Amino acid sequence: TAPVLSVRNLQVEFTSRRGTLRAIDGVSFDIAKGEVLGVVGESGAGKSVTGLAVIGLIDPPGRISGGEILLSGLRIDNLPPEEMRQVRGKRIGMIFQDPLTSLNPLYRVGDQIIETIKTHTNLTDQQARKRAIDLLAEVGISAPEKRIDGYPHEFSGGMRQRVVIALALCAEPELIIADEPTTALDVSVQAQIISLIKRLGRDHGTAVMLVTHDMGVIAETCDRVAVMYAGRVAEIGPVQEVIQNPLHPYAKGLMGAIPTLAGEDKRLVQIPGSMPRLSAIPAGCSFNPRCSAAFERCRVDRPEPLRHGTQAVACHLYDRATETAA
Ligand code: SF4
Ligand code: MG
């Protein structure tokens, strides 16, 4: 069966008077039913843009300039806006960092959930209310039959994020995209939201794309992880493999700095230098100016992801051609 999400050689460009910047340059990955894929990287690596591309929310002057996005085998990157809006509401759920982007402060949370349920089902008001209460209970809101009539401001940040997750689940989507869903929350609440997201895959068979800069969150939540750098996937593989045996020099740097959920150190990277700006991506491997293992070929030739056991890595160190030449 087709993966729930298949992103194939995705390219995203932003055009301004000063020229065209490529924010995403050849990103590919799949997410299977019930699987949580973490997408990790520094800010500006292209994680959020990738998520926005999948849900069809890249606004002009940005655009998808190449590649394909398939949802359960059907292309969605070229759908008319109205059709894409339906896909977004029904087949793809979204959870953002700030729950208030998804909740209207003027309406009771229950009414927002009930309205969403009714949009996607033929349930009566009463049935939809019952379903909303069940969903609130499922995401861990106690006394849901009372809380359902509360307004967003009457909920704590963590509780609001639970409401957003309930809202995302209303249409029983195939795919949920969660962009930094725990970043704004207290550490103690983060762990609860993470175990909730993890359960989605298990209990609902939902595929989850979890975008975060926090390797600790990835380690706790994900089945697989894609490490992004400068608009490309540097390495992708099962989360345990990538954490214990990172192959790409950039991933090695990241894994040296995994914070624990309870820990203080939230810095992701302990690699000298910083990620290049989109307007100044180096030729060859975009990581070469920061890479202590860089050699001649890295400055001219762009590495493509190649399979290496259960991982795939875009680095010339793992290319047969390099091995033969050495
Ligand atoms: Fe370093 Fe070269 Fe590998 Fe890029 S391709 S990560 S510069 S060794
Ligand atoms: Mg972001």
123 lies in some domain: no
Whole-model pTM?
0.90
Q: Using pLDDT thresholds of 50, 70 and 90, give the confidence band for residue 268.
A: very low
Structure tokens at 64: 């998808």
The predicted pLDDT at position 258 comes to 53
197 lies in some domain: no
104 lies in some domain: no
Q: Is the pLDDT of residue 269 over 60?
A: no
Q: Is the pLDDT of residue 118 over 90?
A: yes
292 lies in some domain: yes
Q: What is the pLDDT of residues 6-41, one digit of tens each?
A: 999 999 999 988 889 999 999 999 999 999 999 999
Nearest CA to ligand 1 atom 7: 288
The predicted pLDDT at position 1 comes to 82
The atom number, within ligand 1, closest to the CA of 250 reads 6
| Ligand 1: centre distance to CA 301 (Å) | 10
Q: State whether ipTM is beyond 0.90.
A: yes
The predicted pLDDT at position 147 comes to 96
| Ligand 1: centre distance to CA 121 (Å) | 51
Per the rule left: phi > 0, alpha: psi between -120 and 50, beta: everything else, 140 is: left
| Structural domain harbouring 54 | 5-91+175-188+209-325
The atom number, within ligand 1, closest to the CA of 285 reads 4
Q: Is the pLDDT of residue 264 over 90?
A: no
Domain at 311, CATH number: 3.40.50.300
The atom number, within ligand 1, closest to the CA of 248 reads 6
Structure tokens at 228: 């992004």
C-alpha distance from residue 152 to each of 81, 158, 160, 256 (Å)? 29, 11, 7, 39
Q: Using pLDDT thresholds of 50, 70 and 90, give the confidence band for residue 266.
A: very low
Q: Using pLDDT thresholds of 50, 70 and 90, give the confidence band for residue 152.
A: very high
Place of tokens 């959020």: 48
Which of 285, 302, 313, 319 to probe ligand 1 with, by most ligand atoms within 8 A of CB? 285
Q: What average pLDDT is seen over the chain? A: 90
Ligand whose nearest atom lies closest to the CA of 181 = 2
| Cβ neighbours of 280 (radius 10 Å) | 9
Which DSSP state fits 279?
A: G
Q: Is the pLDDT of residue 241 over 50?
A: yes
Nearest CA to ligand 1 atom 3: 315
Q: What is the pLDDT of residues 165-206, one digit of tens each?
A: 999 888 889 999 999 988 888 877 888 888 888 887 788 899
9 lies in some domain: yes
What's the total number of domains in the chain? 1
Tell me how far apart the terminal alpha carbons of the chain are, to the nearest angstrom.
Answer: 41
Nearest CA to ligand 1 atom 5: 315
167 lies in some domain: no
